[in-house]
Structure 1
Amino acid sequence: MDLLLEYHSLNFIAKPPSNRRQVRWHKPLPGTVKINVDGAFNSTIGSYFCALRVVFNFITRSDHKASVFFRTTTPDHFENGEWFSGGHCNRSVPFKEGEVDLKDVDNVMRNIELEEFEKAAAKGSEEGVNLKLLDTTHLY
């Protein structure tokens, strides 16, 4: 489904993010920034920041007033190593706040999502758009 083409016919949208997909940009997006993560500059995260802003601007400026649920990305949740080095996830319940230290990249992505969501939610409330957040980082 092409969200831009179908958006006006939808009443409900759930944005399922993924930090597992590869993103390729053939031309730099206007305003793309490189963000320092773990001592290296990461333009993919900068592109994610710009993509979120573009999507939220589209939603809040549209004449169509859908209800939009935005779910944050899920942090890496392997314990005792990464998925490729013997790490495992045997959890049956989510992490509680303070139970795990998030990796730098997970913190950066979550902060970008929360910052852009807050701006969009404020603008959306002025424009009659119902934006709701489901932060999956810490669930109780």
Structure 2
Amino acid sequence: MQGRPDSGFLQWRWKPDGCELPRFDPGTFFEIVRGKTMAFIGDSVARNHVESLLCLLSSEEMPLGIYKDTEDRTRTWYFPHSNFTLMVIWTRFLVLDEERVINGSVTGVFDLHLDKMDKNWANKLPEIDYAILSDAHWFFRKNYLYEKGKNIGCIFCGEPGIKSLDIDSALQMVIKVVLNYINNCKKCRNILTVLRTFSPAHFADGAWDTGGSCNRTHPLGEKEIDLASLEWKIRSIQVEEIKRVRPVARRRKKFEVLDVTKAMLMRPDGHPNSYWGNKWMKGYNDCVHWCMPGPIDVWNDFLIALLRRHAFADFTWS
């Protein structure tokens, strides 16, 4: 709960129309993933998802931490009883990025190379059975996009002679090349690629660096969310790209969507806000990540439902 004094946000749970969503069952999860490797590939929100999953799984089996990088961003856990390996692999943009440096200082401005993958995850792809991808939050800044060394546009730069790109169109370019890369990976085994849709932030009365906060203690109603918002546009292009790659998926490659956007648009009450305990960025509120336990746990309800469907589809009589 990140130290939040209230707990009402724990009492709300997503209910889909026309069906019931079973709660996450760790025993069933381990049966499905026995002997497999699952990697969550993305930024700190991907790690937030993994932390929720670890908490749920630990009631059944405690993992062994077998790898951690120097920045504690990429980690690997092993569950010996189930012979299951779980990874979180840090990447800002999925593709190769280079941060611009001026006079020895980093700028927060990145050059993205669409024809090169981030090796943090690409080098590990052949050993992965389930790849859970997420991307978007790092696109909300000035970024320049390149293809074969040639600039093809930028986000938030407004410079003459450079094509101006919207966040959603730039993100779509990246998702397209990433999914194509996975589909064409010759060394990859029977991999299920799951693209988690955009998890919206809920800053009110300012942005993250201008005093924005998220003080709500109740969810929004379905009629209160904006399905014409940028968040929904991002979600729509993510779904569109999965639909595009499915008909051309190579043998034993499968692509799915973990669609969390609508559920999370309704949960401005579920963020740590000022209770995130960060020692390095005091004075800023966290309305991007999610409290645990909290609304993010439903992502794993969605995930196991998706995995069960695939496990059943892959079952054959011997």
Q: Partner letter of residue 122 of structure 2?
A: L
How many angstroms does 1:79 deviate by? Answer: 4.5
Structure with the larger strand share: 2
SS at match of 2:143: coil
RMSD: 3.5
Paired with 2:146 and 2:204, the residues of 1 have a C-alpha distance of 37
SS at match of 2:124: helix
In the alignment, which residue of structure 1 is the partner of 2:296? none
In the alignment, which residue of structure 2 is the partner of 1:60? 183
Larger radius of gyration: 2
Identity among equivalent pairs (%): 22
132, 136, 141: which one aligns with 1:18: 136
Say whether the 8 Å CA contact 1:17–1:73 is kept in structure 2: yes
Write out aligned runs for 1:75-86 (5 A).
75-79=200-204, 82-83=207-208
SS at match of 1:27: strand
Paired with 2:129 and 2:221, the residues of 1 have a C-alpha distance of 33
Aligned length: 134
Per chain length, whose mean CA-contact separation is higher, i.e. which structure has more relative contact order (CA < 8 Å, sep 6+)? 1
Write out aligned runs for 1:80-119 (5 A).
82-83=207-208, 87-90=212-215, 97-102=222-227, 104-119=229-244
Question: Structure 2, unaligned stretches of length 5 or more?
Answer: 1-88, 90-118, 156-163, 265-318
Q: Structure 1 residues 136, 42: closer, same or farther in 2, change over 3 A?
A: same
Question: Structure 1, unaligned stretches of length 5 or more?
Answer: 36-40
Say whether the 8 Å CA contact 1:75–1:102 is kept in structure 2: no
173, 198, 201: which one aligns with 1:50: 173
SS at match of 1:13: strand
How many angstroms does 1:25 deviate by? Answer: 3.1
| Deviation sequence 1:89-115 (CA, Å, 0-9, x none) | 345786564331156422321221111
SS at match of 1:70: strand
How many angstroms does 1:71 deviate by? Answer: 0.5
In the alignment, which residue of structure 2 is the partner of 1:38? none
Q: Structure 1 residues 46, 127: closer, same or farther in 2, change over 3 A?
A: same
| Deviation sequence 1:22-68 (CA, Å, 0-9, x none) | 463363578x5789xxxxx5354332211110011111222323122
SS at match of 1:138: helix
Say whether the 8 Å CA contact 2:145–2:154 is kept in structure 1: no
Say whether the 8 Å CA contact 1:23–1:44 is kept in structure 2: no
SS at match of 2:132: strand
| Deviation sequence 1:5-24 (CA, Å, 0-9, x none) | 22112222111223245463
Structure with the larger helix share: 1
Paired with 1:14 and 1:28, the residues of 2 have a C-alpha distance of 25
How many angstroms does 1:135 deviate by? Answer: 1.3
Paired with 2:185 and 2:222, the residues of 1 have a C-alpha distance of 36
